[in-house]
Structure 1
């Protein structure tokens, strides 16, 4: 993924302008009303890593291989099946002045690692289309986001391969019960004059949309990254901050 982002930056330079003259292009209402938060701590030394953007910061970031399902190493029976031992994971907590989360992400997830079908935590029918091109790919990210203690987690799934080769389609989701958001690759850049330029291949970030297709958040993966949060209530903004943090940190799981 890092090599893909580097290639994108080289393409932007070849278009006749420096990367700072471009920004991600995303939909409304995020385009008109947003907070643009610069990310610190994503690049460089990962021991005792602290990720910060705006009022949000990680209180803990821990990378490890899943040895067994236990209270401290995973969330058994909630999202994943029981044969996830040995997968690489990242466990982190994101905090602001009023909230703290507990988040675990697992890489190289297959479709059959997720609970689909008659299970209470099954994937809803509206999101099954995310999997239709993903039968053989294993480069997937799965995340459980607890925004309050002991509540049902939000589930995040991202098809990393699809994000680069199937960039015009939805490649992931964030869901809990009947509530869900979709994740869409960003492959358009906006110039200072407002004109749009397409990235020839790959994607430079992700846009998160609600059930009505409205853009509520976005994250840039270029360099240290940037987080864009819409004008939502505090709970939704905190959830979106966790989603963006997971997407920013995921490349570090396979590249410690």
Structure 2
């Protein structure tokens, strides 16, 4: 059992890291209950992995301190009695237990496994671990054009929308009665014309919208799985709101995206 116990501690440490990472995913998606559960399991497994090692080290240090104090006291008493042995050097410290090469290799493999899983999760967009099953998602990706060509120039703005978005206050003419009612259209003033960014990667789409004059835009997972877009260049815009040619302001743009290589990515 003593030969197997170090490997079991390595496995416990690996799963402790996995559960702590899952706790991070839960808190990222606002699930406090899932966060507390995963964190509790991770801490428990971490104690199983490192608790004995910590206890053994503390016991060894305490034994060394006690032995050193006892020897100092004995040397003091011997010195007072005129015994020259009191000037003898202290004994060598207790040697540390040897580290087994197989345990080190197993720990390195487990660490690489955990790091690989974390990197994969980041590339996949930190999907909600408590969310819907991606194989049974009822929200299909938004339809996208078949080609992935990027427009070089934004289309001209729609005159109908531009006219509706402009605030006008009619001024009474000399032939119009001053008592006639006036019409005021309340709105948020647009600052740019929406370009066509479908089938672009998310980073290029954001750059294009910013070049048009709007800095802040939003993006959502078109599959309904609630994945966060961590690496924008790994995501493809499959639909946009509003359509191209519409006057837009800060925060008006919502881009629906899927991972590069997923159905509907314009490939």
User: Same fold, TM exceeding 0.5?
Assistant: no
Q: Find the structure with the greater CA-based Rg.
A: 2
Q: Which structure's residues are more often helix, by fraction?
A: 2
TM-score, structure 2 as length reference: 0.22
TM-score, structure 1 as length reference: 0.22
Question: Greater relative contact order (Cα 8 A, min sep 6): structure 1 or 2?
Answer: 1
